[in-house]
Amino acid sequence: MTAHAYAHRLRLAGKVCALGAAVSFETLMGFHNRIRYITALKSLTIPPECPILLKIEDVPDGTPLGKVAEIIAMLAVPNVRFTVQYRSAQTAPKVDIRLGAAGMGIALPHHCDVALAAIFMKKLVSAFAEQRGFIFVEGLDTQELLAAAQSCGVRFGTGQALGRLCFSGEDPLPHFPLCLG
């Protein structure tokens, strides 16, 4: 709801951007929670100038891709795009079905070794290559991790190396485009 309200504030200000919101995979696995979430999403009118990227986070290792695709299909509403974040960087699966997600990502563990992180990121880029989506990585906390992400073809990320690029619904509207300084 916060992302929805912020999207309308941005639209009224004549700005164009995508906003992020997140829900855990575990939350969506509970039947009653999923119904409430679907009902809430369908009640929103999301402006096309400010779509919402809804991240389904903490997807457990071994979760069948068909189950993830099914959840995405159930949640589909206009101007909402989905990203999927896997719980473990080591085991992001090869995506061999049409997942319906615009992006796929991982969160790097704290104090992650740069060489190991590069292996995880290359695997992720390879796993999602045929989906024509983007890759994101959270936990880019050093310039070395940021450089590794860029060299692996990661297009979106968060972390201390990027500075604060996270806004709440109460923040003043940012000046666009947001760029690394």
Domains of the chain plus CATH, in order, are 2-162 (3.20.20.450)
Confidence of residue 148 (pLDDT cuts 50, 70, 90): very high
7 vs 1: CA distance, rounded Å = 10
pLDDT over threshold 90, residue 24:
yes
Closest CA to 72 of 111, 114, 23: 23
- Contact between 16 and 49 under an 8 Å Cβ cutoff? The reply is yes
Q: Is residue 89 pLDDT above 60, yes or no?
A: yes
| Sign of the CA dihedral with 130 first, then 50, 14, and 164 last | negative
Report the predicted TM-score, pTM, of the whole model to 2 decimal places. Answer: 0.82
Q: What pLDDT score was predicted for residue 93?
A: 76
Statement: residue 181 has pLDDT above 50: no
What's the mean pLDDT in 112-117? 93
